[in-house]
Structure 1
Amino acid sequence: MKFSFNHNNFNVLDLKKSIAFYEEALGLKVTGEYKAPDGSFILAYLGDGATKHRLELTWLRDRKEPYNLGDNEFHLAFDVDDMKAAHEKHKAMGCICFENPAMGIYFINDPDGYWIEIIPEDM
């Protein structure tokens, strides 16, 4: 028996805004979508075009209040081949929420407050 990663899920309040963020900040593209027949939710799957792993964004029609992310101790991590260019892009977007220069990493946050770690490709 063999298991492999398939996807992670983030619940979001504004699906279009979240998709736009992930496209601009990380180059992810929508690879699939599922709409509930009754309109109560939409699942959008985003991929990087290089791996099988996807990010599932879940929008719930009746959800109006922000999600409680607790201490936000969980996160996704992406490596990047040009750390300097990525940092400049995310700084211009205003989405950097934490930096750790000693480790050579930083975090960005999406429109719902989820943290995404950015690390050098060779780390």
Structure 2
Amino acid sequence: MGMTLIDKLQFPDMKFDLYFLSTLPANEKYELEPGSDAAHRYLWTMKGTTLELTHNYGTETDEAFKYHPGNQERDGFGHVAFNCNDVYTSSAKLEAAGISFKKKPDEGRMKGLAFVFDPDGYWVELVKRSSSAKFENEFNLSQTMLRIKDPKKSIPFYQALGMTLCREVHMSDFSLYFLACLPEGTQAPDPKSEEASEFVKSLFCPVLELTHNHGTENDETFSHFSGNEAERKGFGHIGFLVEDVEASCQALEALGSSFVKRPMDGTMKGLAFAKDPDGYWIEVIKRGGYDDKATPFWREAQPSA
């Protein structure tokens, strides 16, 4: 899918590793060694977006083990997506490479888009990008989709984290909301305008797609699974780099957010996990970290300035 492995973090004492991949501009050559101090600094200061993959040791040799990819009853996580110039051509390449499909471009009622399965069964959508897009990548990571119960609660939460509502689509039984952390100087059109669709599809940076199935906001008994429940683990969280973790957590708490982990809880000090209005985990990470390696946490006492 054209992604570059930016960095890897290894935690053998806790028996897991993290891998961070990103869509870089086609003309940008990445020469840092994943796992190096330089790669760590790049990761925790970059302006782009990464896909974080977590590997728990031993799963690769357990034939019976599998993660829960979502998209079953009450699941919240839906898919990630990549934009491309020609969904049909790119789909043919993926099929030739042995990739299996949930939906080919001409199947179903919605023509011209596709869904493939990644090796763990997660859904990956292929979407045609805007003809106005000027970048050369065949694919660019373009969205993460989560289902929400009440947009009147979820949208202000993500706006408080610096996201901009770029597009909204309303159908008879569901609505879609697209939010993004826009590059400095980029102005989004009216999210309800015709221009909003092409604007979102022309972005190099990904969007957060929030899907609201009408009526859930009025059902006090309804809730989505977040992906971190026993027997349903797969999707973990989304994360935001911030200048001040403590101040950001206070702002989220003022919006009613609860916390899985506050900055000084646990063994990894200085980072936090909040919950959004649907209970999705939101990691809050210090941009640039706390030391000369840009490490976004510390294990014991905070290092001297």
Q: Which TM-score bucket, shorter chain as reference?
A: 0.7 to 0.9
Tell me how far 1:100 sits from its aligned partner: 5.1
**Large movers: runs of 4+ above 6 Å:** none
2:149 to 1, 5, 13: 13
Distance 1:90 1:61, change over 3 A: closer
User: Is the contact between residue 96 and residue 106 of structure 1 (CA under 8 Å) also seen in structure 2?
Assistant: no
Structure 1 portions without partners, runs of 5+: none
Percent same amino acid among aligned pairs? Answer: 32
Q: After superposition, what is the alpha-carbon deviation per residue over 1:1-37, rounded to whole angstroms, capped at 9, x for unaligned? A: 733211111101111221122113x12121111222x
| Residue of structure 2 in register with 1:82 after alignment | 244
> Residue 262 of structure 2 corresponds to which residue in structure 1?
99
Using structure 1 for the length normalisation, give the TM-score.
0.82
Q: Structure 1 residue 62: deviation in Å?
A: 5.1
Q: Which runs of 5+ in 2 are unaligned?
A: 3-138, 184-203, 289-295, 297-305
Q: Is the 8 A contact 2:169 2:175 kept in 1?
A: yes
Q: Tell me which moved more, 110-119 or 65-74.
A: 65-74
Give the TM-score taking structure 2 as reference length: 0.36
- State the number of aligned residues: 120
In 2: Cα distance, 1:60 partner to 1:91 partner: 26
Would you say the 8 A contact 1:40–1:60 is kept in 2? yes
Alignment match, 1:54: 207
Distance 1:69 1:84 in 2: 24
Q: Report the AA paired with residue 286 of structure 2.
A: P
- C-alpha contact (below 8 Å) 2:162/2:181 kept by paired residues: yes
After superposition, the Cα gap between the structure-2 partners of 1:62 and 1:93, relative to the gap in structure 1 and judged at 3 Å, is closer
| Structure with the bigger percentage of strand | 1
Greater CA radius of gyration, 1 or 2?
Answer: 2
Greater relative contact order structure (CA < 8 Å, 6+ sep): 1
**Alignment root-mean-square deviation, CA:** 2.2
Residue by residue over 1:56-81, the C-alpha shift from the partner in whole angstroms, topping out at 9 and shown as x without a partner, is 10011254421123525510011012
